[in-house]
Structure 1
Amino acid sequence: MKVTLNRLNDDFHFEAKGASNVVVHIDSKVNEEVHGASPMELLLMAVGGCNAIDIVSILKKQRQQITSYAIEVEGKRKEVRQAKPFEAIHVTVFLEGDIDEAKAKRAAQLSFEKYCSVSITLEGAVEVTYDVYVNDRKV
């Protein structure tokens, strides 16, 4: 897998592309005018996106009817020398529809523990936890 980044201004605005050729804008919050997500925001988005794709895929295969899917990903950071890496990431999944709660819980478990390459990449370095809500009820 390979991505490319090209600088677009005199500051920190970059355009990134991977094999899909989809453009992602990356920037730093140092300036008032921000043109993209920060690398740390992108990492949280990657965790959420990877798990979202897995969970939806698993539930669709089980013929569960998802009418709404939302996810919140929150990272807790620590100070290490001059850096501030994540020490913990918590994901909250919100599902609505005609969905069996046990199937939703199992889909999340499979995603976080077996299928999601992003979450598994972080194992040992960052504690990743999750909660699942189906129709506003925690399962």
Structure 2
Amino acid sequence: MPSATKKVTVTRRSEGHYLATNARGGQIRFGTGSEDEFSPVELLLAAIGGCSSVDVDTVTSRRADPDQFEVTVSGQKVVDENDASRLDPVGLDFAVHFPDTDEGREAAGLVERLVKLSRDKNCTVSRTIESATPVLFKVDGQPLD
């Protein structure tokens, strides 16, 4: 399967306020979390929840539109022995409900299996985090020590 490079560019709008732009021109404003903009950590949580939401929604919506589709993603911020911050653990809670029709019951019957498939195979975002993928930092194209 061919690999595809994903890329966004982050541009400073003002101190503590940034704009992420993807290759298709889509944009998300975010900041330090001191105002109503998403913080980078909240964007990470949204990316995890969004990835799995797409996995589940794509298949179930072929059968029926949900009455409720909500995924709550949370993580506990911890500081380790090196004073480095991270989230541990991160959890997803799916509340996905369908009408009481044949199609709705069929869609509802798929939710648990689709969430497991997303967790175990399909969600690139959570699987990247779980695999402890290296993050390589550079300045002006030059790798840091």
Normalising by structure 2, we get a TM-score of 0.74
- Equivalent residue, structure 1, for 2:11: 6
4+ residue runs of structure 1 moved beyond 6 angstroms? none
- Gaps of at least 5 residues in structure 1 are 126-139
Q: Residue 79 of structure 2 corresponds to which residue in structure 1?
A: 79
Question: Using the alignment, how far apart are the partners of 1:22 and 1:99 within structure 2?
Answer: 35
Matched with 1:129 is none
Deviations 1:42-91 (A, max 9, x none): 10000000000000112234x24422211100101210334321111111
Q: Is the 8 A contact 1:71 1:93 kept in 2?
A: yes
| Contact map agreement 1:44 1:73 (CA 8 A) in 2 | yes
Larger radius of gyration: 2
Residues 10-49 of structure 1 correspond to what in structure 2 (within 5 A)? 11-29=15-33, 31=34, 34=35, 36-49=37-50
SS in 2 for 1:36: coil
Say whether 1:117 aligns with 2:113: no
1:92-111 to 2 correspondences below 5 Å: 92-97=93-98, 98-100=104-106, 101-111=108-118
In structure 2, the partner of 1:68 is 68
Aligned length: 120
Structure 2 alignment gaps of length 5 or more: 1-5, 99-103, 133-145
One-letter amino acid of the structure 1 residue matched with residue 87 of structure 2:
F
- Find the residue that maps to 1:8 and give its secondary structure: strand
When normalised by structure 1's length, the TM-score is 0.77
